[in-house]
Amino acid sequence: MTRSPTEIDREIGQRIRLARKQAKLSQSELGQAIGVTYQQVQKYENGTDRVAASRLVHIAAVLQVPPAALLSGQGDMEARLMDEDAIALVALFNELKQPSLRGAALQTVKTLVAASHNI
């Protein structure tokens, strides 16, 4: 009996996509590292194909995240991180190495958020 992918499969795919983008890898690069085509990575990320447990562990190792990070979500925070702009913001923030610059960037974002609530 063939089973269709579920919402859980789609969520796991979204987490794989997020982790891949944060690792700055293309679908082709991830596919090559785990021994599949970029099309297969697309299917995993879209949730159209299920990811076997052994493959999930391999993907996690390549992306340098714990396998549990691809399985369990963090609720609302994860949904916000799926946004392309949020991914770009996190990637840029991670490029800041000096603590003073990181603090200034964080304070700037906090100020913008506070201002947006007062509009």
Interval 67-112: pLDDT, tens: 888 987 554 445 545 567 777 787 788 889 999 999 999 999 999 9
Indicate the pLDDT class of residue 25, thresholds 50, 70 and 90: very high
Domains of the chain, by residue range, sit at 1-74, 83-119
CA angle, residues 66, 69, 70, in degrees to nearest 5: 105
C-alpha distances (whole Å) from 59 to each of 26, 33, 43, 50, 72 are: 13, 8, 14, 13, 15
Residues in the chain: 119
Q: Determine the pLDDT at residue 54.
A: 95
Q: What is the Cα gyration radius of the chain?
A: 17
Average pLDDT over residues 42-48: 95
Of 42, 39, 55, residue with least CA distance to 13: 42
Task: Tell me the whole-structure pTM to 2 decimals.
Answer: 0.63
Which homologous superfamily does the CATH classification assign to the domain defined by 1-74?
A: lambda repressor-like DNA-binding domains (1.10.260.40)
